[in-house]
Amino acid sequence: MRIIIVINPIPPAFVFIIGAMLIPIVRERRLRQLFQLLIPAIAFADLLYMGHGTYWSYHFLGYELIFGRVDKLSLCFGYVFVIIAFLGMFYALHVRDVGQHVAAFLYIGSALGITFAGDLFTLFAFWEIMAIASVFLIWLQRDTAALDAGFRYIMVHIFGGCVLLAGIIIHVVNTGSTHFGLIEYGGLASQLILLGFIINAAVPPLHAWLADAYPEATVTGAVFLSAFTTKSAVYVLLRAFPGVELLMWLGAIMAVYGVVYAIMENDIRRLLSYHIISQVGYMVCGVGIGTEMGLNGSVAHAFCHILYKALLFMGTGAVIHVTGRRKVTELQGRNLYKMMPICLSLYLIAGFSISGVPLFNGFVSKTMVVAAAGGIHSVPIHLLLHLASIGTFFSTTLKLPYGTWFGKAPEGEKIEEIEAKEPPSNMLIAMGLAAFLCIFIGCYPRVLYDILPYSVHYHPYAPYHVAATMQLLLFTAAVFWLFIDKLGGHATISLDTDWFYRKPGMLLLWFCSHPLQRLRFGLQHLLSRMVANVASLSKNPILLPEIAIRYIHLRIISRLYHIFGLSEDKLEELRELESRYDAIRKITYDKDVYRRPIGFGVLLAVVLLFLYGLIYFIRSR
C-alpha cells in the first residue's frame, strides 16, 4: 500500500516571512544561526514537494489571489532563490545585527512570492514588500552615504511600484481578469506594466538606482541585493513579455552600457554593480529574442548569474570586511594576495564564471543567449553581446582582481601597511559552496538544462565554440597585458542618469532653503506687524477715527515737506505733529473718561426700535 503524504503546508514565500518574524525571538546566538540555515532548507524541501499546478488560491474582495502557480519557469527561479538564500545566510552568519537578517528574510520571501504569484495583485503586494525590505539592507550599513543612497533607492522603487499599480489597474479594468500571464504588448496598460518591470530590471536609463545603492549596502546585504530584485524582474518579463522586440534592443544596449561604466569605475562593488546591469542585459535580450533558445538562455543565465554574482560580491565584501577599504585606489599595491589567497582564488572562480570561460557556469548559459541572437541572424545584437563579453572579462576578472589584490600604487604615493587576513570561516565556506556550484554547473550543464522551461538542444562544448570563446578571452587578456600600466584606478566617480534626479533634487533643496525660506520670513514679518498694529489700535477703539485722521494728515504733510524741501521751522512743526500722534496712540481706554450718561443708552435703544419699526412697516406694506 502506498502512503501518500500530503505535505502542503505553506507557500515558500511564507516560510521566509514567518522565519523573519521568529528570528528576533531566538536569543541564543548558536541557535539563531542554526535557525537561519534551517529556514532555506525547509523552503527547499517545500519546493521539492510542489508538483506543477496551482495552489493556495484565496478569494479576496471578489478577486482570486494565487500564491502558488508552479510550473517549470517559476520552479527554476524558486530553486536558485532558495539556494542563494542559504549561501547568503551562511555568508552572513557572523553578523550580530539581527535587523539585517530579518530584512534579508523578508526580502527573500517577497522575491519567492513574486516568483509563485499567479495573479497581478499578489504580484504587486510582494513587489512592494520587496522594495521596502531591501532598502533596510542598505540603511543598516548605518552611515550617511548609505542613508542617502537608500532614500534615493526607495523613492525610485516607490515610483516604479506606482507605475506598475497604474498599469495593473488599467489592465484589470480592460480585461476583467487579474490573471498574471502573457500580456500582449501594446496599449497603455501593458506599457505601464512593462515600465514598472524594467525599472526593477535596471534597464537604462532607469538603472541608476542599482549602481547608486548596492555599493552602499552592508557587506552581507549586497550579496542578497545582487540576487533578487533584478532577477525577479527578469522572471516577470519572461512571464509577461516574451518576444517583445524592444526588450531585445534594450537588453543588448544595456549589456554594453554596464560594461563601459564598469571600466571607468573605481569602487569595487560599484564596478560589480555595473556588471549586474550588463549581465541582466543578456537576460532581457534573451526575453526580447523570444525564441525557445532565447527564453531558455535567459532563465539559465539568471540561474548562473545569481550564483557567480553572489560569489563576486562575497569576494569583494570579504576584502571590505577585513580592510575597511572599497576602492581600487586605496587597495592597489598593498599586495593583499599574500594575505588572502583563498579569497582571491574563490573570487577568480566567479570571475571566470561571469566571463564565460569554458568549464565555468557562465559559459553554458551566456552563450545560449548569444547563440539565440545568432539564431535570428541579428548582426548588431550578436556583436553587442560579444562586445559585452569582452568588457566583462576585462573588468571583473582582470582589472578588478589585479587592482585589488596585486597592482602598483602610483609613483610617489605613500603605501601604508594594511593588516589583512582571510575572512571568517563562515564567509569562506559560503564562497566555497558557491564556487563549487559554479564549476559543477559549468562541467555538468545537464543539471541546469533539465530544469529549464523548454527542452534544450544546445551543446556548449562543441570544439569550435570552445576555441572561439577562448580566442575572444585570451586576446582580451592580451590587450590588458599591453595596457597594464595605464589601467590603475582614478579617484573619481562617473556621472550617470541619477544626475537627472540628484542635481535637480539639490536645486530644489536650495530653492526651498533660500528663496522660499526668505519669502516665508518676509510674509511672517509682515503678518506679525499687522497683528501687532491691530493689537495696539484695539487698545482704544474709540480713538480710531481720530488716529486715522491724524495719521493721514501726518503722512500727507511729511510727504509734501519732503517734496518741497524742509526748512528748520517746518521740521520743528513736523516733529510736533509726530509727537502728538504718538501721544494719542498711547492713550488707553479708560471707562471713566468715556462713560456716557444713561440717557445716551436709552436714546440708542429708541433709535434702534424706531429703525426696526420702520423696516417692519415698509416690509409689511
Partner 1 sequence: MARTLRYILFISVGLSMLVGLFFRPEHPHFWWERVPASDAIFGFLGCILLVVGSKVLGHYWLQRDEDYYSD
Binding mask 473-492 for partner 1 (x = CB under 8 A): xxxxxxxx--x---x--xxx
User: Cα separation of 114 and 111, whole Å?
Assistant: 5
Cell of 467: 576555441
Of residues 9 and 504, the one with the C-beta less far from partner 1: 504
Of residues 229 and 476, the one with the C-beta less far from partner 1: 476
Q: Closest distance between partner 1 and the C-beta of residue 364, in Å?
A: 18
Looking at residue 543, the DSSP 8-state letter turns out to be G
Q: CB–CB of 208/497 below 8 Å?
A: yes
Of residues 264 and 554, the one with the C-beta less far from partner 1: 264
Residue 57 pairs in a beta bridge with: 66
* Residue 391 within binding range of partner 1, rule CB under 8 A: yes
Q: Closest distance between partner 1 and the C-beta of residue 321, in Å?
A: 22
Which residues ranging from 292 to 331 are in contact with partner 1 (CB under 8 A)?
none
Of residues 502 and 585, the one with the C-beta less far from partner 1: 502
Of residues 121 and 261, the one with the C-beta less far from partner 1: 261
Q: CB–CB of 248/289 below 8 Å?
A: yes
Q: Closest distance between partner 1 and the C-beta of residue 78, in Å?
A: 34
3-state secondary structure 269-332: HHHHHHHHHHHHHHHHHHHHHCCHHHHHHHHHHHHHHHHHHHHHHHHHHHHHHHHCCCEHHHHC
Burial class (CB in 10 A: 0-12, 13-18, 19+), 463: exposed
Interface pick for partner 1 out of 62, 176, 186, 463 (rule CB under 8 A): 463
Q: Closest distance between partner 1 and the C-beta of residue 474, in Å?
A: 5
User: Cα separation of 269 and 215, whole Å?
Assistant: 5
Establish whether the linkage from the previous residue to 205 is cis, with ω within 30° of 0. Answer: yes
Of residues 118 and 290, the one with the C-beta less far from partner 1: 290
- Segment (H or E) for 65: strand 63-70
Which residues ranging from 351 to 390 are in contact with partner 1 (CB under 8 A)?
374-375, 377, 379, 382, 386-387, 390
Interface pick for partner 1 out of 30, 412, 464, 597 (rule CB under 8 A): 464
Cell of 117: 504569484
User: Cα separation of 322 and 382, whole Å?
Assistant: 41
* Residue 466 within binding range of partner 1, rule CB under 8 A: yes
Q: Closest distance between partner 1 and the C-beta of residue 7, in Å?
A: 47
User: Cα separation of 554 and 365, whole Å?
Assistant: 92
What is the longest distance spanned by two Cα atoms in the chain? 127
Binding mask 236-265 for partner 1 (x = CB under 8 A): -----------------------xxx-xx-
* Residue 513 within binding range of partner 1, rule CB under 8 A: no
Size of interface with partner 1, in residues (CB under 8 A) = 45
Q: Closest distance between partner 1 and the C-beta of residue 271, in Å?
A: 12
Q: Closest distance between partner 1 and the C-beta of residue 376, in Å?
A: 9
Residue 180 φ/ψ region, left for φ over 0, alpha for ψ in the -120 to 50 degree band, beta for the rest? beta
3-state secondary structure (DSSP) of residue 537: helix
Q: Closest distance between partner 1 and the C-beta of residue 133, in Å?
A: 26
User: Which residues make up the interface to partner 1 (CB under 8 A)?
Assistant: 259-261, 263-264, 374-375, 377, 379, 382, 386-387, 390-391, 394, 462-480, 483, 487, 490-496, 502, 506
